[in-house]
Structure 1
């Protein structure tokens, strides 16, 4: 993982640990089985009680609970594709496995949207509209799923987003497992670095407008900084209340590009770097700074979640929305000391370094 070095980062290293959550819950990671992301074994759901994405509300009525569950062998299933897991809102995605201090355990069926992944609009909610029957085809699927990818960035699985029919919006609540044991509520006054790898689709290239956005959400439920890209894969960013700003950095669709953002919730700034994959040379470009300590324009709270937004349906210029793949999320949190604290740290370091006077 590349490092965007924040101001005062060396002094910050001497500060104590943040308050930690006692429970390891959800995790992004690399979307592997041990990260808590389920891929059916040989294309089959192992347990009949684990309905996966065949679990729909009867007649699209959430009040029906589990009374109208579609049998686990019925549509919509994974179209005989055992590499495609259930929608992340339909099971305990990211809440099992042993990676990064996970609790172990296994995938379990849960009430839709009761985990740390939430479908806000579109996605599997659009699929629910036809429950308990499904009339779509293989290429008209709306969901966010883990996928056993033949070309991942790392491991064997990726997170795949598809919004073939209409726009989707999902939220993910960060957890102490994501942040190396640090409670997200404790990230106020900190520098939080997030990096991830992405391979956009080339099916939507004719649409030059914004296609994807990943919002960094604070404790007040406001997006404090957003990163995204256009249909033709140019990196974008957006400040709260502003318009998407398109950069000159284009990501290839044949390989993975790395995006790194540093959110400083003390100084209310964001920095952005990219290493863009070049389809022509089949090489990953060097680390390039796009933004450095850009003022957010808002007072940020603690970083507590991410919102994923993907346009679907009829795109511009005949473009088609298809699969976008994400992999290998990493976070690093560094406390940013207040100016008075810096003085104390420096003074303490000087006093500790002074030789004692002999009597």
Structure 2
């Protein structure tokens, strides 16, 4: 017997596919001023002198008093460095700007770790340990900052991770602006595509172990899927906190590679693709599927955050920890349909082939 789909359900599914499948770029976005990321070239951020907020002496001299501005990067007492923004946990990073329906406004000091970004270990926490004095250098930072990059993937700024002295771990809480107006807590049954561009460091190439990991976190603050790479830039992934799985895809360090993750929170599967930059040809190798419909082994729940983990300090085989640059995050979210919604099924099935936005 031929089964018909009620017209109401079909139209409802079509409407849902149209309004709930955004290609969003904001809050993370391209880490531009309009995305909510400030660097000194765009003006200083006045310190609010919040209780517990680390402050540093200007020029490391108590006579000069405190800097009076939110310390940026890991060199908080040098006003001559206009390329590194403040650590993203020190100000309202990602919470101002106009891109993707942003509220506008301006960069402002907040109590550390009270915004979308939190330092869990290392990074700013390491730099703050000796406040109000600072014992680092302009080129040895422990932080995550927006950076005025001369070779970005798009725009003029990138997100730079550096763990000069020790490992760092930061948590970013996704916002509805990331997902085109969809509340992250409502993504318990959705197809979520996340893509971003990365240029790894070549200073750490002698270290062949896992160096960087980006974990997709659920509402229970547990990782449901992790993607990363080794010191010599081989793409890796990890399931359910197990061992890192090495792939045969190596990303160059002279240009940006695109990584795409597809998470299905309804059937607890994930996909992974890479468009790797080839240092020899100076070209992208083309998009390749690494995983499709890979079982996660856990109930994923809603996607609510991203955890950034970077090894630092003394690396293996004499490798030197240095800067890793990220740019142009994009998200697309499609709710997984209830039975009887064939149009939305087609939309969901085609989401993996959704054209990636290029700047």
If the TM-score is normalised by the length of the shorter chain, which range does it land in? 0.7 to 0.9
Deviation at 1:81, TM superposition (A): 1.9
**With structure 2 as the length reference, what TM-score do the two structures score?**
0.83
How far apart are the structure 2 equivalents of 1:11 and 1:161?
46
Q: Secondary structure at the match of 1:14?
A: helix
Match runs of 1:20-99 below 5 Å? 27-41=27-41, 45=44, 47-49=45-47, 56=54, 71-72=68-69, 76-77=76-77, 80-99=80-99
SS of residue paired to 1:92: coil
- Matches of 2:225 and 2:325, distance apart in 1: 21
CA contact (8 A) 1:168 1:310 kept: yes
Question: In 1, distance between residues paired with 2:78 and 2:324?
Answer: 17
Question: CA 1:70/1:19 → structure 2, altered by over 3 Å: closer, same or farther?
Answer: farther
Q: Using the TM superposition, give the Cα deviation of residue 136 of structure 1 relative to its aligned residue in structure 2, in angstroms.
A: 1.0
State how far apart, in whole Å, the 2-side matches of 1:102 and 1:305 are: 19
Q: 1:73 to 1:170 in 2, by over 3 A?
A: closer
Query: Residue 354 of structure 2 corresponds to which residue in structure 1?
Result: none
2:100 match = 100
Q: 1:343 to 1:236 in 2, by over 3 A?
A: closer
C-alpha deviation, 1:48, in angstroms: 3.8
Q: Map Cα deviations across residues 64-120 of structure 1 (whole Å, 9 max, x no partner).
A: xxxx96543985245622011000000000000000000000000000000010000
1:297 corresponds to: 297
TM-aligned CA deviation for residue 139 of structure 1: 2.5
Residues 38 and 177 (structure 1), Cα distance of their counterparts in 2 relative to 1, 3 Å cut: same
Change (3 A) 1:69 1:15: farther
Change (3 A) 1:311 1:288: same
Closer/same/farther in 2, CA of residues 325 and 78 from structure 1, 3 Å limit: farther
SS in 1 for 2:16: coil
Give the distance between the partners of 1:131 and 1:247, measured in 2 at CA. Answer: 42
Instruction: Point out where structure 2 has 5 or more consecutive residues left out of the alignment.
Output: 1-9, 21-25, 58-64, 346-359
Deviations 1:111-145 (A, max 9, x none): 00000100000000000111000011122210000
Aligned residues: 319
What is the aligned partner in structure 2 of residue 213 from structure 1? 213
CA distance, structure 2, for counterparts of residue 253 and residue 282 of structure 1: 10
Seen in structure 2, the aligned counterparts of structure 1 residues 51 and 251 have a Cα distance that, compared at 3 Å, is farther
CA 1:336–1:73 in 2, change beyond 3 Å: closer, same or farther?
A: closer
RMSD of Structure 2 on Structure 1 (CA)? 2.7
